[in-house]
Each structure stands twice: as C-alpha cells, then as structure tokens.
Structure 1
Amino acid sequence: MSTLAPPLRTSWHLKLAVLSASLLFLIILATAFAQPAMRQNVQPYLLDLARTNPDNTVSVIVQKNSKDDASLEKEVNRLGGVVTKDLHIINAFAAELPAGQAVNLSTYPGIKWVSYDAPVQKSLLGGLICTDCVSTTLLSNDYDYSINANKVWNNANNSGAWLQGQNVGVAVVDSGVTNNLDLYSKNALLRSRLVAQVKVNTRASNAYDNFGHGTLVSGIIAGNGTLSLGGYIGVAPQANIIGVKVADDQGLASESDVVSGLQWVNDNRDKYNIKVVNLSMNSTQAQSYLVDPLDAACEILWFNKVTVVVSAGNNGADGKPAVFAPANDPFVITVGATNTYDTATPTDDTIAPFSAFGKDETGGVKPDIVAPGINLISTKPGLAVKLALDHPDHLLEANINYMRVAGTSFAAPQVTAAAALLLQSEPNLTPDQVKYRLKATALAKKAKGSWDTRASLKAYDPATMGAGYLDIYAAVTQKKITDSANQGVPVSKLLWSGDSPVNWSSVNWSSVNWSSVNWSSVNWSSVNWSSVNWSSVNWSGDYWGD
C-alpha cells in the first residue's frame, strides 16, 4: 500500500507544507505509472484520463475481491474521494475521486478492477439511447481487452453497434449448451440466441449441458453479460449458438460421437448459418491426420466454408512437443493459451505452462495462434452440473452464475468468436483466408507490416505461440490482407476413400470446387474407430490447477 499525502492545509503561512505535500503527491502518482512491478487493475481509459488530467474528479466503479472488505471504501475517503453508491450485486461500489488517485487505488490489495463510470452514450438520431451498443463500464474480463474485442463492438462514436457477431451461427460441439440470460438477445429477452440444441450421443438423456463444459465455452464465445450487469461479456456477444451435444451426461463420448456431431453440423450449416465450429477437446493418442477420422470430418467442414477452431490441449507442461487430433490437422486453426497475469494489455503476457505445442506432419507450427487461457470467467449452466460440483472453489463468490476456468479449452472460443466477427464483417472470406488474416495480424515481437505500430509481445516464442497473440481489431481492420493459408497442403487420405472421392491432384488448388467435398467423400465404414484407442473424449483443454 502506497504512503498517502496528508490533507492539504490552505493557510497562506503553510505554503511550504502545501508545496511539499504536492511534490509528494506527484511522486506517488509518478510511481503508480512508472513501476511495472505495481499491478494496476484499472480500465485503460482511466489510465489515459489520469495521465492527461490527474487532478480532475472522475466517477468510477470499484470491484472488490471480497465482499466483506470495507477498508477500500475508507481508502477512497483518504484519497480525497467519496463513495456514492453501494453495488453489492456485483461486489462493488461507485465513487468519485481524482483520476490520478483512482489509478493509485487500483494498486491496493483487495481491488479486483477499477473502471470508469461512463455516462450513457446517446445516438446521433433524435437523441435516443444506443440500445445496440455494448457498455464496457463494468467490463471485468481481461481477455476482452487483451485481444481488443472491446474495440469492435461499437462504432467509432458509440452511436451504434458494429461487430458483435449478429446473425452469425457458431456451432459448439461439446457437452451440450444450457440456455441462460447471457445467451439471450441483448435487447429482446424473449429471443434466445441459442438457436438450436441437439444430442447425437445416444447415452445422453437430453440436449442440455449436464456436465458444464459446453456452456462455459459458449459464454466466452457469445455471453452478453446480462447476469453480471456487463461484467463478464463474451467476445462476440450477439452471435448465435448452436449446441451440439456429443457427450453423455457425465461428459463421456467416443470419437465416433464427435464425428456424428460434425456430420450434423455439416448437414445443417445452411439452415443455421453456421460459419464457425468450436472443438475444445483432444484425443490422447497420436495418429496421422491423414488417416484420423476426426481430422477428416474437420476437413470436410473446412472445405465447405465452415471455419474450424480447436484447442491445442494441455499437455505442454512436460516441455515435449506433441499435439493430438484434431489440433494436429494442418488446415484447422489450433489455439494455445497465454497467461495475462490479470492485466488488460498483452505485451507482458507469456505462454501458459500447460499449453501444448509442436508441429504438424507438414512441418507447420502448432498452435497457429494464442489467446488468454488462465483465470477466465464464464457463465455456467447451474449449480448441479458436474464441473461445478467437482470444482466448487472455482465458483465466483460474488456471483454464482459464473465460474473461473483455465486451459486451451477456453482460449479456443476466443478465436472462434474472432472468426465469427471477421466473417460478420467480410462474409465472403473462406476459412483459409480467415486463418491467414488472424495469423497475419496476430501480435508478435516484430511488426507484421507498415500498418503495425503496436507495442511488441516481449515474451513471443514462435515455437509455442505460432503466429502470435490474437488481435481482433487488427484482423477486422486490415482488409487488404486477403491471402489464403494452407496452399498445397495434403488433405486427409480418408477423403479419397468414399463413393465421391475428390481427385485433388487434378485441380488447381486455388480453384478447387469445394462443394464437391462432402460426407460421401469418405468411406466411413472402413474407418477403424478403435485405431486411436480413444474410449472417451478427453477434455484436455481444461486446466484446474491454481
């Protein structure tokens, strides 16, 4: 805790004391900005206000780690401010104090986040409130700031919505998805954005998420933050979710269940406008992507203009390079995890110690890209689901609708949502172009082009981070980047085995008739489903360590 200057005395004969106290205040303020070791849990906009006008009074919302800690309200008074509202529903309070002291407050133990209490922005049309805008006043998710998702939700003057995933379908092939208010349309609570739920696992009792994993994944993709008053918002908060339950109620599934789920996505992609599919699961056994049935199913979707995003897995702790299906497929976008250290800027982030890495059979680096994967918060389906029962210490004390999670399972949905936002902006992009754009605009140590003036990712390691750190704003604004990834990469041999095989060697890769790649391109009856010795889906993208 920083030493605070005593109250200023205004008597003319105490000018020297006033000057000394002022100098001490400036030293404290400079220290708050200059010392990298002092963690600032503060909205970046407040930092800008404090740098330009540190003495100006600002309205802030202060979120606490413990609801029982009343000392922080007292510190506001000591810093020359006043508490104006009790916001215990989100374990917070509102206050007014000098901007510089608001930044100082953010470094105190017990502070979770200090954000600017922004006025409601009105539109340019008749002075109406912008009901489609996403408010970031209470936004607490570090990852939204780290990947610049918050920069694309509203247009430049906050008078209307920009890219929030509107009308884009995202299939979550997982343990199911259970509906909740965070998955409803922001301004029409009678319309759920969970537009379809289906179970393909015959052992599952229903299409709901009795395990908990799929709903957590969906919250990171498309949660609108209703249950947290805007505190925990997903990356594409107006995208539509299609829940495909491939696991039974205990979270168990066979590889054929997962392939059946992907087949359902392929059959219904036009009906639900499915543009992206998320797979936060991995096999535990190594097998060539050329003969793995799960990889083949992913490639069929890819060639039918559905971008496939998968988790890298959590087997990187031993330092040995290894990625398993479907993360080993060179076509799909494989996502690794970073540690944000609970800050809103990515430049100091490092690779998460558990994040899997390696190379695919073509020599390509996996993961392709990384996103935050530690200390993430997302909505869960209920108290009785298995993950909540198994990990009660990960439930948020201040809001039991949410759960704290980690792993590449939860880094992947951020890239899934990024792909959805990019396709909302440019719907004619192919999956290869989406992949290339996301990688070409990812933050790394060196600039990616003349447009790239960003601060570098200090700990960037291409072997474990691929192309670098996801940056959604850069991806959607660099429209001149239209190249395609995966040129000349060999496809799964299983795509040559069915009733309608594709003669890949007879076509120019850039002019492939993608519609000719379909489910009958594979002779599924010839697949040896036990060849990977995968008796159950391994949620290896989850990390429950401290």
Structure 2
Amino acid sequence: MFSYSNIVEDLVIERLINSNGEHIPVIITGDACECEDLEKCIKELGGVVKHKLPIINAVAAYIPPVGVRSVAREKTINKVHFDDMVFKLMDVASVTVASDYANEHGLTGKGVTVAVVDTGVHPHSDLTTPNNRIIGFVDFVDKKTTPYDDDGHGTHVAGIVAGNGFSSQGKYMGIAPDANIVGVKVLNKDGGGNISDVIAGIQWVIDNKQRYNIKVMTLSLGTKAKVSYREDPLCQAVDKAASHGITVVVAAGNSGPEASTINSPAISPNTIAVGACNDRTAKIPSDCKIADFSSRGPTPDGLKKPDILAPGVNINSLSNKGNGYHSLSGTSMATPIVAGCAALLYENNGNLTPAQVKRMMTESCVNLGYGSEVQGAGLLDIKDIMNRSNISPQPPRKVPQDRQQSSKGIFSIFDGWFFVILIVILILIL
C-alpha cells in the first residue's frame, strides 16, 4: 500500500495508518523545485503552510492524509518528514561555573553575540545591567516582540553563557560576561516545540548574523535521532548555519548511560556536541565523573560523539522570576559553557571558522579516562585552549584588595563635614 515509503518517513506512515482524517504536521523537502513551488503544491492539496524553510529548501505544513499520499508521488519531492517534537535537554538539580583565567586576562566575550535558541530570555539584571546585552529577540511560539521566558530554561542557559553576576555580587557569573545575547524563542512554556519552529529559528539567526554579529548559536534542545544526519532536516539546518560561519553548540542529550543515544542535531559532525560531567566532588578536573544521564555515541552514521564534556550537574544560573537564581542539571547546562568559551575565542580572533573553533576546543581537553563515545575529547579546558592557541592574554586585572575600605575612606570625609554643618545649624537655631 505504501510503495512510496522511501519518500515518506516511517513516523508519517504510522500517522497515516492511525489517522482519523486530521491534518498531519510534516516537513517536505524539495529536489528540483523552490519553496514557492512546494507551497503551491501543498495549498492545492488542501494543506496549510506553517513555515517556508529555504535554508533546507523545504516547507513545514499541515496536510490531510490524502494530501500526504499525493505529495509523495510528486517527482520534485525529496522527502516527507514528520514534524516531530523537540525538547529542552534538562535533568534536575545545581553548580557555579567560572572562567576566571580567561576573564582576568582580558577575554570576556565583549562585542560577540551568542544566539540562544530555546524557550526565550527573561530580562534578568545580570543581562541588562549596567548595559542591556539582550540586543535582539524573536518569538516563533507566541509572536511577542519583547524578551520573555515563560519556562525559564532559556534564561538559565543565557546566564551560563553571559551572565555578569550583577545580582549576586559576582558569585554566579557566566563564561563570557560581556557577550551579547539574542533570544530566539522556539520552545513553549512546557519546554517543547516542533522541529520546524527550531529550523525557522535557525534560519532567522542566519538571516540576522551580520546585523547582530552572531558568531555562536547554542541549542540546549534535541529530539531522538532517527536517520542519518545527511537526511535529518534539523541537522541540515545547523549544517547550513555552520557553512555561514556560525559555531553551533548543541546538547548531546540526557538519555545515557545507554549507547547510541545522541540526539539530533548533535549527531551532525558540523556541530560541537556537548556531554555533561559532574565536578561537584572533584578536587582536580581529572577527577570529574561523567554524568549518568549524559548521552553516549555512536550516532546512526557511526560517528563518535559527544565531541566534548563540560560541567552539567547542579549549575546555578539565572531564574526567569525577577532577578534570582536557581540550579539545574543536564547537558542543557553543559552546552552554554562551551558556547561561552567559543565567544571568548571569537573575541580574540573574529576571523575563526567554526571548524577551527571546534578543533581548538577538542585539542585542549582533560582526559577523564572514558572512551571517545562517552567523553569525546574530554573535559573542556579553557586555560589550555588559550595556551595552545597562542592567545596573548593581558596581565591579570588588578582589583583593589579592599574596595570597601577605599569607599569607606571616601564616605568618612563626608561624614565629618556632615557633623560640622549640623553643629553650625544647631547654633544658628539656638
């Protein structure tokens, strides 16, 4: 019955079999046609177009079951994918992260923009004070125009990348505390969303790369990998971003410790796939243990993933409630640590390619003693990256040993004059 199964993804066929006539969400990629041709075809079949996705020459649409069968027979159609759900990649629980060495030597991500493709970004004071570093925002869920985050996941991620610790007096500071953030909301208040919304968000990032100087895109989200990265629409989208000079950092997934659990789009070789380790009880970096939930390779193509590890257990970062903080765990939390590191590298050299950034990171790791399909190259080591990459750090910034004492001296002068003036006023009154 389904002789066109090589064109239609298995999940779509499953929906057809169990369909009661309702429209099916799909992503249709074209071969020898443009998006406008696909759009016209879908409308003629009674479908509704959701997104045009030119970066992968596709459209996302809702089409009736009979339309799926008809569109699959079109010679210009390459593949009919199910527009599946993607989810934030988060476990539960808390840790502070630091990049003191790089920050103290002058690398803070200044002038570099990181796109956070997630649940949104709340205007927390650590991102808006003293200067508002949320320089762009787009919402593919509710179409709002001002920054917000009704889930909190994206705000937590943004804080790990670029929080400056304003509300915690520097205690909870991100990796690149002077970097700019662009919020791209593709996940709803429950932390879920469709693949097509994520692709539309990635397309927006590519289109606005020059406008905002976007060098890095971080995606702490994913969906189960079902096919080769060459056929996966989400992977095709991140590959296009990489080809436009954007370093794409992606969460490996929280489906460990089983093998072959790397999520899409982390299965793409053109991403930096990040797994999570636990550094809470480690005295030195080499004592860190892989987080049990961190997904393992290989990928459907037999590629060794993840690419790298970063701390992802009990990470303290920004809350979407006021200007507070809270802790979360997951490869979602490890991913922005690596994204923040990429921002530091781009601040030092804005002409780096995504491949060069990835190589610099994977060549500078601490071996934790696991296989490459568990730890990748190992634990991220920012200091070693700086040393290996011939980065000429500035001398450590000199901070007064006792700022409070200095300010106290200033106020004591005014306190003395205050009492003199007060006495003069009392004498005049009396």
Q: Is the 8 A contact 1:311 1:409 kept in 2?
A: yes
Determine if the alignment matches structure 1 residue 466 to structure 2 residue 353. Answer: no
The 8 Å contact of residues 95 and 327 in structure 2, kept in 1 or not, is answered as no
Q: Is the contact between residue 242 and residue 248 of structure 2 (CA under 8 Å) also seen in structure 1?
A: yes
Shift of 1:361: 4.8
Q: Are residue 150 (structure 1) and residue 100 (structure 2) matched?
A: yes
Aligned to 1:299: 239
Provide the rounded CA distance (Å) in 2 between the counterparts of 1:167 and 1:341.
Answer: 32
SS for the counterpart of 1:347 is helix
Alignment partner of 1:359 out of 293, 298, 305: 298
**Matched residue, 1:255:** 195
Q: Are 1:339 and 2:278 counterparts?
A: yes
Amino acid at match of 2:337: Q
Shift of 1:193: 0.6
Q: 1:374 aligns with which of 301, 310, 313?
A: 313
Change (3 A) 1:232 1:343: farther
- Structure 1 residues 468, 243: closer, same or farther in 2, change over 3 A? same
Which residue number in structure 2 is paired with residue 439 of structure 1? 362
The one-letter code matched in structure 2 to 1:223 is: G
Cα–Cα, structure 1 residues 198 and 171, in superposed 2: closer, same or farther, change >3 Å? Answer: same
Partners of 2:206 and 2:137 in 1: CA distance:
15
Is it true that 1:179 corresponds to 2:118 in the alignment? no
Shift of 1:343: 4.3
2:261 maps to 1:322: yes
Partner of 1:435: helix, strand, or coil?
helix
2:344 is matched by which residue type in structure 1? L
CA-to-partner distance for each residue in 1:16-41, whole Å, 9 max, x for gaps?
xxxxxxxxxxxxxxxxxxxxxxxxxx
What do the CA deviations read for 1:49-81 (whole angstroms, capped 9, x no partner)? Answer: xxxxxxxxxxxxxxxxxxxxxxxxxxxxxxxxx
Quote the residue 2:337 is aligned against.
Answer: 414
Contact 2:281 2:288 in 1 (8 A): no
- How far residue 463 of structure 1 moved from its aligned partner, in angstroms, is 2.4
Identity among equivalent positions (%) equals 42
5 Å-filtered alignment, 1:39-54, equals none
3-state SS, counterpart of residue 218 of structure 2: strand
Match of 1:499 in 2: none
| CA-based RMSD | 2.0
Query: Matched residues in 2 for 1:362 and 1:252: separation?
Result: 26
Which residue is 2:180 aligned to? 240
Residue in structure 2 matched with residue 447 of structure 1 by the alignment: none
Q: Secondary structure at the match of 2:380?
A: coil
| CA distance in 1 between partners of 2:254 and 2:103 (Å) | 31
1:94-493 alignment, distance < 5 Å: 142-144=96-98, 149-155=99-105, 162-184=106-128, 189=130, 191-202=131-142, 207-317=147-257, 319-343=258-282, 345-382=284-321, 401-444=324-367, 457=368, 459-479=369-389
Looking at structure 2, the residues matched to 276 and 475 of structure 1 have their Cα atoms a distance apart, in angstroms, of 17
Aligned partner of residue 264 in structure 1, secondary structure: helix
Shift of 1:248: 2.9
Within 1, Cα distance between the matches of 2:356 and 2:299?
A: 20
Unaligned runs of 5+ in 1: 1-139, 156-161, 384-399, 445-456, 482-546
For residues 481-528 of structure 1, the C-alpha deviation after alignment (integer angstroms, 9 at most, x for no partner) is: 9xxxxxxxxxxxxxxxxxxxxxxxxxxxxxxxxxxxxxxxxxxxxxxx
Deviation at 1:142?
Answer: 4.7
Q: Considering Cα pairs closer than 8 Å and 6+ residues apart, tell me whether 1 or 2 has the greater RCO.
A: 2
- Look up the SS of the partner of 1:365 in the other structure: coil
| Amino acid corresponding to residue 114 of structure 2 in structure 1 | V
After superposition, the Cα gap between the structure-2 partners of 1:143 and 1:333, relative to the gap in structure 1 and judged at 3 Å, is: same
SS in 1 for 2:260: coil
Q: Is the 8 A contact 1:372 1:411 kept in 2?
A: yes
Post-superposition CA distance 1:187-231 (Å, at most 9, x none): xx2x20111111122476964101111000001000111111111
Residue pair 1:222, 1:241 contacting (<8 A) in 2 also: yes
Q: In the alignment, what sits opposite 1:104? A: none
How far off is 1:272 after superposition? 0.4
CA distance in 1, matches of 2:103, 2:297: 34
Partner of 1:270: helix, strand, or coil?
helix
Distance 1:253 1:227, change over 3 A: same
Q: 1:473 deviation in Å?
A: 1.5
Q: Shift in Å at residue 253 of structure 1?
A: 1.4
Aligned-partner SS, 2:275: strand
With the length of structure 2 as denominator, give the TM-score of the two structures. 0.66
Q: Given residue 331 of structure 2, which amino acid in structure 1 is its aligned partner?
A: T
* In structure 2, C-alpha distance between the alignment counterparts of 1:407 and 1:361, rounded to whole Å: 22
* Contact 1:200–1:245 (8 Å) recurs in 2: yes
Q: Is the Cα contact below 8 Å between 1:328 and 1:366 reproduced in 2?
A: yes
Gaps of 5+ in 2: 1-93, 392-430
Aligned with 1:170: secondary structure? strand
Alpha carbons 1:425, 1:476 under 8 Å: kept: no
Aligned residue identity for 1:268: N
CA distance in structure 1 between the aligned counterparts of 2:124 and 2:292, rounded to whole angstroms: 33
Kept after mapping to 2: 8 A contact 1:287/1:324: no
- Separation in 2 of the partners of 1:372 and 1:239? 20
Q: For 1:217 and 1:404, how far apart are their aligned partners in 2? A: 11
1:204–1:249: 8 Å Cα contact kept in structure 2? no
Greater shift after overlay, 336-345 or 225-234? 336-345
> How far did 1:404 drift?
1.0
Tell me how far apart the structure 2 counterparts of residues 363 and 163 of structure 1 sit (CA, whole Å).
Answer: 37
Deviations 1:231-254 (CA, angstroms, capped at 9, x unpaired)? 111111110000001123343311
Shift of 1:364: 2.8
Name the structure with the higher strand share. 2
Mapped to 1, the partners of 2:294 and 2:347 lie a distance apart of 29
Instruction: Return the alpha-carbon distance in structure 1 between the equivalents of residues 282 and 178 of structure 2.
Output: 25
**Aligned pairs, number:** 298
- Give distance in 1, aligned partners of 2:317 and 2:150: 16
Preserved CA contact (<8 Å) 2:252 2:262:
yes
Q: 1:437 to 1:205 in 2, by over 3 A?
A: closer
State whether residues 316 and 357 of structure 1, in contact with CA within 8 Å, keep that contact through their aligned partners in structure 2: yes
Structure 2 CA distance for aligned equivalents of residues 283 and 260 of structure 1: 16
Alpha carbons 1:281, 1:310 under 8 Å: kept: yes
- 8 A contact 1:330–1:360 mirrored in 2: no
TM-score w.r.t. length of structure 1: 0.52
